[in-house]
Chain A
Amino acid sequence: MTTTRWLALAVLVAAALAVPSLVRSAYLLNFLILMLFSAYLGQAWNVLGGYGGQSSFGHVVFFGTGAYTSSILQMRYGVNPWLGMAAASLTGALVGAAIGFLSFRFGLRGSYFALITLAFAEAFRIVANSVPITGAGLGILIPLAPSAANFQFRDKDGFYYVILALLLGSLAIAWWLKRSRFGARLAAVRENEDAAAALGVDGFRCKLGAIALSGGMTAVGGTFYAQYFLYIDPSIAYGVGRSVEILLVAIVGGVGTVFGPLLGALALQTIGELTRAYLNAPPLSLVVYGALLMAIVGFLPDGLVGLARLGRRRRRADA
């Protein structure tokens, strides 16, 4: 990156850090938290779906596993939720490695891989619905006990800083993927697995690494969700809708890019809020939301990041 870019990033981060002291509206802060949260999940998906080219339709399987890991540890074994978040990253990575092992071993690609992830997520939801440790259909209610040590905050500022830190971490991981040997190999496997193998790249191991990393990151998001809302049940934790939300953020923003998920989250959250606020009939707002989505996906196959690139090229051509 050039110096100007670093500078721009530093200014952006400084501005983001200053937000809670400037914004006193809880509504707006909640909006920002949810936006950063969905950007974070989108970036986690992007590690596997964008950089690795393995589109998962069931990323909620990691999200829910993370949410349940920290919540069960906390409620049944009294484990601090911060530790629970670390544990969640491990269980998420493990579930990722297991699903990856089963799918990639047998050469599942493209829509077959997408479908198998969807199936795993559904299987996890059904299991969570029927075993006692998850509280089954009743879910898990985390009692309110606000203190930073307890990963609960009296006002939203704390959650804002936590999700901002997580997002910055995920951006750093995305940036590392663009620069590292692992990232280069992952891109090679995405582009042409046979050619990569001929050049000494173990495609199976690369994909396994990517799904474990992506799963661990997504699971951490699950813990954040559980601590923010203090309640999870099987349909919240493993609902298909969230899987779609996660991958839409990355696709709308720009698959396989560092800042795509952030742009995608900003666009989707804004569109979602505006259609909800100005179109009072719930079905109508969803229709408009869907139409806008189709327009973005149809006209911008490279996402919003692609739009920015196009603009830059046009300006250069004009000059």
Chain B
Amino acid sequence: MLEVERLTKSFGGLAAVRDVSLVVPDGRIVALIGPNGAGKTTLFAMVAGFIRPDRGRVRAFGNDITGLKPHRICGHGVVRTFQITQPFAGLTVRENIMIGAYHRLARRAEAERRAGEVAARLGLADRLDQAADSLTVAGRKRLELARALATEPRLLLLDEVMAGLNPTEIAEIVAVIKTIAASGIGIFLIEHVMQAVLSLSDFIYVLSDGALIAEGPPAAIAADERVIEAYLGHGAAARLAQHADDAHG
């Protein structure tokens, strides 16, 4: 279980994340949504150790991991993927996944076997010997996920793994994420593809201007006025309701 408690970060005078508290239980899929520039990626970066928070605590599975280095946080079972994919470009797909596998396995043969298993799970099995930088966008997103999964995490932080994918590819990756969560791994994801978020998540947090403005199950969030306003602008909720009334009336 991931517990974030009153996490705060400012860059100069700009409060990127303000007093955010949230919980990601094991085996659940929790989404973090919000307009561009809301501070979602900054929050992720703080949880994963890439940015030091100004205030607040992050606990993973009962341990305080606030301000630890990223590789130590990985050791606590918390692994992130990157919004802009970061493949080890000069290495093959297999070698990329093996870096993740080496986190728990010291022997090459074992790491190689684990890489093969994970690749099969993500539909990368026939591309193992390909150079990582020759993959398509969809392939790179899968590779990000595969590498993270190979570390045997207990909690995955997925930063927009569906951005840039076509509907078929999204359906495939949604299925994969569901099986990962079903195996007991907590999933915390940032996503813009609303259809996927609403069908996939057990719980949703909405971030706007660095602060949480709503939280709840998908159905409640989709109907929440504050959320609609944050996305579509002031007064949008009222206009939408008006529009719906006119259409029905």
Contacts and interface: CB of A to CB of B under 8 A. Distances in A.
A-B interaction: yes
Interface in B98-152: 98-100, 102-103, 106-108, 111, 147-148, 150-151
Interface string A197-216: 11111110000000000000
The majority secondary structure among interface residues of chain A is helix
Nearest to A256: B90
Q: Name, among A190, A191, A201, the residue most crowded by chain B CB atoms within 10 Å (CB to CB).
A: A191
Contacts of A197: 49-50, 69-71, 74
A199 B104 CA distance: 10
Contacts of B69: 197, 202
B61 interface: no
Given A179-B108, A195-B86, A188 B91 contact: yes
B102 A192 contact: no
A198 B91 contact: no
Q: How large is the interface on A (under 10, 10 to 19, 20 to 34, 35 or more residues)?
A: 20 to 34
A192 B74 contact: no
Contacts of A191: 87-91
Contact of A181 (B50, B91, B106): B106
A232 interface: no
A192 B81 CA distance: 13
A200 B87 CA distance: 15
B95 A200 contact: no
A200 B50 contact: no
B75 A200 contact: yes
Interface string A45-88: 00000000000000000000000000000000000000000000
A190 B88 CA distance: 9
Interface string A178-192: 011100110110111
Given A191-B90, A192-B86, A199 B147 contact: yes
B29 interface: no
B82 A196 contact: no
Interface in A152-196: 179-181, 184-185, 187-188, 190-192, 194-196
A26 B169 CA distance: 68
Given A181-B111, A184-B99, A194 B86 contact: yes
Given A192-B86, A192-B87, A194-B86, A184 B103 contact: no
B98 to A, nearest CB: 6
A181 B100 CA distance: 11
B80 interface: yes
Contacts of A180: 108
Contacts of B111: 181, 184
Given A188-B91, A200-B75, A195 B102 contact: no
Given A179-B108, A199-B147, A200-B74, A188 B88 contact: yes
Contacts of B88: 187-188, 191-192, 195-196
Nearest to B49: A197
Contacts of B74: 197-200
A181 B49 CA distance: 23
Interface in B182-223: none
Contacts of B82: 194-195, 198
Contacts of B150: 199
Nearest to B96: A188
Contacts of B49: 197
B135 to A, nearest CB: 14
Given A198-B82, A199-B74, A187 B95 contact: yes
B33 interface: no
Given A191-B87, A191-B91, A200-B79, 17 more contacts: A181-B111, A184-B95, A187-B90, A188-B91, A191-B89, A191-B90, A192-B88, A194-B70, A194-B82, A194-B86, A196-B99, A197-B50, A198-B48, A199-B150, A199-B151, A200-B74, A200-B100
9 contacts: A181-B102, A181-B107, A185-B102, A188-B91, A198-B50, A198-B70, A198-B148, A200-B75, A200-B79
